[in-house]
Amino acid sequence: MSLQLTGNLSGLMRTMRPRQWSKNVIIYAGLVFDGRLFDINLLLATTLVVFCFCLVSSSVYIINDLADIEKDRLHPRKKLRPLPSGALNPRFAAGAGALLAIVGIALAAWLNLWVGLVVFIYLAQNIAYSLYLKHIVLIDVMVLSLGFLLRVLAGVLIADVSNFSPWLYVCITLLSLFLGFGKRRHEITLLQDDAAAHRSSLQEYNLPLLDQIISLVTTSTFVTYTFYSFEAQTALVRDGRLLLTTPFVFFVIVRYLYLIHVQKRGGAPDELIFEDRPLLITGVLWVVSIVILLYVW
């Protein structure tokens, strides 16, 4: 294997962002909250859908980096990525991105035509985001939030769930908006006067606006989750026991706010949860409590 091919493959793996595949874990939400987590056939099918989204999301990252290659060279951290640094050939990346997208959509459609359609819509909206929508203030974050909603929808469709509460759709959408606007705040703080050169929509944001939006979204997220935990009409929990999980959700929200405002972090929320031990521990405790309340208690 030539050194050039080895370098391209290494750069491609970094551009595919395997660490960010953790976002796709949310696809299991439909299966978990429908009480069928231990149905082996459904668990396998859902895991294959997660794999499809990993392939397509990696394709999206490649497309995004190709579209932003010049602007990323001006970014203090992103300039080290394989494409802007020159470690990855753009043609090699484009071919790999197309292949990943085709395989991901084809496999999803083979599993379930509706899931395949959702994966295709996910790819289309991300291409639109990379090429145009990310430059429109507010819409840029809302489009990213739609991506999380589509993931959950794919999980609901593949598991053919019957007890998934609509409150969770709202809660997941709000939570993703919270993370998205928090990331925009971090970018403005990090880039300061050069923010607009990296992303044109950043010149339309400022810290007071983002702080107000984040305050609104955080309050709405916690209230929505509280409503869900008390009123969710699932076949498993009808007596409000899920209210016991709200302290974990509250701590995750305020801890993330602390990391944004005090420690000036939050550029990659999906990575931050693994880097910050209190966030990681609280997230694990929340998952364990959900499983106990839904399947044991």
Predicted confidence (pLDDT) per residue in 64-79, tens digit: 888 878 777 776 677 7
Residue 232 has what pLDDT?
Answer: 63
The whole-angstrom separation of Cα 297 and Cα 281 is 22
The whole-angstrom separation of Cα 281 and Cα 139 is 33
CATH number for the domain whose boundaries are 1-164: 1.10.357.140
Instruction: Output the pTM of the full model.
Output: 0.87
Residue 78 has what pLDDT?
Answer: 75
**What is the dihedral sign for C-alpha 61, 67, 70, 76?**
negative
Structure confidence by residue, pLDDT tens digits, 250-279: 999 999 889 888 887 766 666 777 788 999
User: Per-residue DSSP letters for 113-158?
Assistant: HHHHHHHHHHHHHHHHHHHTGGGSTTHHHHHHHHHHHHHHHHHHHH
Residue 257 has what pLDDT?
Answer: 87
Domain boundaries, the chain: 1-164, 165-297
Residue 240 has what pLDDT?
Answer: 74
Residue 93 has what pLDDT?
Answer: 86
The whole-angstrom separation of Cα 195 and Cα 203 is 7
* Structure-token pair, residue 2: 């030539």
Residue 177 has what pLDDT?
Answer: 92
Residue segments in the chain with a per-residue pLDDT below the cut of 50:
235
CA dihedral 229, 233, 238, 240 (to 10 degrees): 20
Residue 15 has what pLDDT?
Answer: 85
* Structure-token pair, residue 138: 């507010």
